C-alpha cells in the first residue's frame, strides 16, 4: 500500500457521510476546523453533470479540507472514468461511487441504490474509474434493496467488488426500499442490521469496511471499532450536532491532538466568511451549516435564532456572527 493510501485509510477510521444539500464546501470547512483527522466527503456530484453539463464548479473546495473525498453518482463506465479524471485533477484524495442513494431522481438516472441489483455493472464502473485515475476508488452501498435476501446479496456484492479491485467500502446497514418509501423514510424505517455488516468484516478480512447508518455518538463509533470494523461513517448527527461528535473525535478515535473549542472555531470561521463575501457569496450560505454548533449548550437557542433571522440580510457579515456568538459567551459566563 502506498503512503497516501495508507494515510487515507487511517483517516477513514471516522468519516462524515456524503449528504445531499448538506456537506457542501462550507460545511466541510467548518467540520475540518472541528476535527483535523476525520475523513470528509462531498455531497454527491453526478458524472453527467460534470461531463455533459460542464458543471466543474461543483468540484471546487478549499485546500484546508484535506483529506477529502469526492462522491460520484453515475452508471456509465466511460462517463464515470471521464468524471473521475476531472476529480483527480482537482486534487481529491479519494473518489467514491454512490451505490446507496434511494431517491427517485437517482433511480431515474440508473444509479445510486438501484445499482445493488446489477453488481457486474458496478464492477465495470469501478474498473473503468480505476484505469483512469491513480487515487483510490471506493464504494458506498446498502446491504440490499427491496426484497433481496441481504445475507446472500451483500456478500455476493462485496465479492464482486473485491474481484474488481475495490479494497475499501462503506456499508449503510439498512436496505433501501426503492418503491413505497421516500428518501427520508429510507433513512429511518428499514431496520438496521449491524451484525450482518460485522460479519462481512469477518468474511472479508482484507477489505477496509466502514459501517454507516444510525450511529449517533462517539461511544457507538468506538463500540463498532472495538467489534472489528475498520471505520465508522457518521451522517446526520455530525451535521446537526457537530460539536458533540467532532470536537473530541481526534483524541478519542485517532489518539491525536486535543479537543477543539466550538467558540474558537467560530472565530476561525470569520476570515473564511469574509473571503466568501468578498467573492460575492452570501453569509447564510455558510452560517446555515453552523446553526447546530452549540446544540444542548447554554445560549444555543439565541445563537440559532439570531443567525436564522439576520444572516439572510444583504448587510449581514462577520459582525453578524460575532453578535450571535456573544449570546453563547454571555450564557457560558
Cβ contact 87:59 at 8 Å = yes
Rg (CA), the chain: 20
**Could you tell me the CA-to-CA distances from 276 to 58, 62, 263, 293 in Å, in that order?**
16, 11, 20, 20
Question: What is the C-alpha to C-alpha distance for residues 328 and 33, in angstroms, rounded to an integer?
Answer: 19
Question: What is the C-alpha to C-alpha distance for residues 27 and 239, in angstroms, rounded to an integer?
Answer: 8
The end-to-end CA distance of the chain, in Å, is 50
Of these residues, 16, 87, 101, 247, which one is catalytic? 101
Whether cis (ω within 30° of 0) applies to the bond prior to 67 is yes
Output the nine-digit C-alpha cell for 216: 449517533
Cβ contact 21:42 at 8 Å = no
101 is annotated as an active-site residue = yes
For the annotated catalytic residues, the residue numbers are 101
Amino acid at each position: 500500500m502506498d503512503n497516501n493510501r495508507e494515510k487515507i485509510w487511517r483517516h477513514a477510521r471516522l468519516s462524515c457521510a456524503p449528504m445531499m444539500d448538506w456537506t457542501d464546501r462550507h460545511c466541510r470547512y467548518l467540520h475540518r476546523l472541528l476535527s483535523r483527522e476525520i475523513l470528509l466527503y462531498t455531497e454527491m456530484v453526478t458524472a453527467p453533470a460534470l461531463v455533459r453539463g460542464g458543471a466543474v464548479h461543483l468540484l471546487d473546495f478549499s485546500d484546508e479540507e484535506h483529506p477529502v473525498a469526492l462522491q460520484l453518482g453515475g452508471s456509465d463506465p466511460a462517463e464515470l472514468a471521464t468524471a473521475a479524471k476531472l476529480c483527480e485533477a482537482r486534487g481529491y484524495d479519494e473518489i467514491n461511487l454512490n451505490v446507496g442513494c434511494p431517491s427517485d431522481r437517482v433511480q431515474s438516472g440508473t444509479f445510486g441504490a438501484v445499482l445493488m441489483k446489477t453488481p457486474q455493472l458496478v464492477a465495470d464502473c469501478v474498473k473503468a474509474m480505476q484505469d483512469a485515475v491513480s487515487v483510490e476508488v471506493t464504494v458506498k452501498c446498502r446491504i440490499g434493496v427491496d426484497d433481496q435476501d441481504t445475507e446472500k446479496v451483500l456478500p455476493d456484492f462485496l465479492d464482486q467488488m473485491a474481484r474488481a479491485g475495490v479494497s475499501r467500502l462503506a456499508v449503510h446497514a439498512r436496505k433501501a426500499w426503492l418503491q413505497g418509501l421516500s428518501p427520508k423514510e429510507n433513512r429511518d424505517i428499514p431496520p438496521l442490521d449491524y451484525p450482518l455488516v460485522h460479519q462481512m468484516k469477518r468474511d472479508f478480512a482484507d477489505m477496509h469496511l466502514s459501517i454507516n447508518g444510525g450511529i449517533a455518538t462517539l461511544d457507538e463509533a468506538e463500540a463498532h471499532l472495538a467489534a472489528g470494523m475498520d471505520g465508522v461513517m457518521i451522517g446526520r448527527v455530525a451535521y446537526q450536532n457537530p460539536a458533540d461528535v467532532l470536537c473530541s473525535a481526534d483524541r478519542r478515535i485517532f489518539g491525536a491532538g486535543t479537543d477543539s473549542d466550538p467558540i474558537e472555531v467560530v472565530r476561525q470561521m470569520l476570515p473564511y466568511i469574509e473571503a466568501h463575501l468578498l467573492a460575492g457569496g452570501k453569509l447564510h450560505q455558510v452560517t446555515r451549516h453552523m446553526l447546530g454548533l452549540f446544540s444542548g449548550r447554554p445560549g444555543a437557542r439565541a445563537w440559532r435564532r439570531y443567525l436564522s433571522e439576520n444572516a439572510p440580510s444583504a448587510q449581514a457579515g462577520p459582525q453578524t456572527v460575532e453578535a450571535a456568538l456573544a449570546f453563547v459567551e454571555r450564557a457560558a459566563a
